[in-house]
Amino acid sequence: MKHDKEIYIPGRGIHFLSSVSRWLVSASAIPRRDPFAFAGLLLYLIFILIALFADSLVTHNPREILFDNNYDLARNLPPGGDHILGTTYSGRDIYSQLVWGSRGALLVGVTAAVWVVTIGTVVGLIAGFFGGLTDTLLMRLADIALGVPFLPFVIVLAAFLNPSQWNVVFGIALLLWPQSARVIRAQVMSLRERAFIEAARATGAGPWRILFVHIAPNILSLSFLYASIAVGWAILTEASISFLGFGPSDSVTWGYMLQDAYASQALGRGQYYWFVPPGLCIIVVVVAGFFISRGYEEILFPKLKD
């Protein structure tokens, strides 16, 4: 009689889900104990809610040129009345642009973070587990990506392609994945020598099953950590590209607001209510990612808890 190579162990089919669920329970408990993680998650939640309900929160069309009751251009109006943060030199409402810009930041930040972490996690898993020629080729590719100047590359990419937020996401995904891939690779190289991996091999589990069912759940915390960092990097990059004039001209982002304020010499006129709010929003989102990564170090390095 022909037998299957893999020996059946009751309950092994849910090993991956149980490992993930245990990690989620551990991860969800961190914000309740660590003020940094709680503050970061709270800031992210506020940021996400503003982006989701931006349609209801704005008071004017962020791209609309406004006029006063005398049909004069409503430019450089101070905060107050119908304009919470005043108006720009072109007569657009600053508050509405600030709220609407959160959507562009959320889109770029989350999308880029997902791609960066997905590519980095998969490459790190494969390189660390299989080693040999596969590891060498993937790590040399990572070296090439690390050697390319990040911001100039994204600027050139945005200049040659049509200015778009998706081109910024594409450039970020191409160059930022090696950092997470290298760390995850090192962790996988350690995990593959553990006793539970040898036990999985003894039961007849194949390499891909071992990789994604037994090893992958143990590096989820690293992936989550780099995702929180990648969100900040993506938002900073998008703001830099827009500030330098290589961003899409048909969308309102925080970087676009800073570029518009700079071109209109808002600092010279003392219009701090124009460029300070978007700058603070960028800082807050990036700091929130740092707070989350700081708090979740407890998962990665339990010895640092106390």
Per-10-residue mean pLDDT, the chain, length 306: 39 47 52 73 89 89 82 83 86 91 86 89 90 89 88 80 78 86 88 81 81 80 78 82 76 85 85 90 86 68 52
Q: Residues in the chain, how many? A: 306
* pLDDT score at 33: 65
Give, in order, the Cα–Cα distances in Å from 260 to each of 120, 215, 254, 265. Answer: 35, 48, 10, 9
pLDDT in the model for residue 260: 87
Q: Answer yes or no: are the C-beta atoms of 26 and 51 closer than 8 Å.
A: no
In this structure, what token pair is assigned to residue 246? 């290589």
pLDDT, position 123: 92
Query: What pLDDT score does 82 carry?
Result: 83
> What pLDDT does residue 3 have?
41
Domains and CATH numbers, the chain: 26-58+84-304 (1.10.3720.10)
* Maximal C-alpha separation, the chain: 94
pLDDT for 22 equals: 52
pLDDT number for residue 36: 77
Give the pair of three-digit tokens for residue 275: 């460029």
> According to the model, what pLDDT value does residue 271 have?
87
Q: Is 93 helix (H, G, I), strand (E, B) or coil?
A: strand
C-alpha–C-alpha distance, residues 51 and 45, integer Å: 10
Indicate the angle between helix axes 220-243 and 94-130, nearest 10 degrees. 140
pTM recorded for the entire structure: 0.76
Tokens for 49? 């809610």
Q: How far apart are CA 232 and CA 181, in angstroms?
A: 18
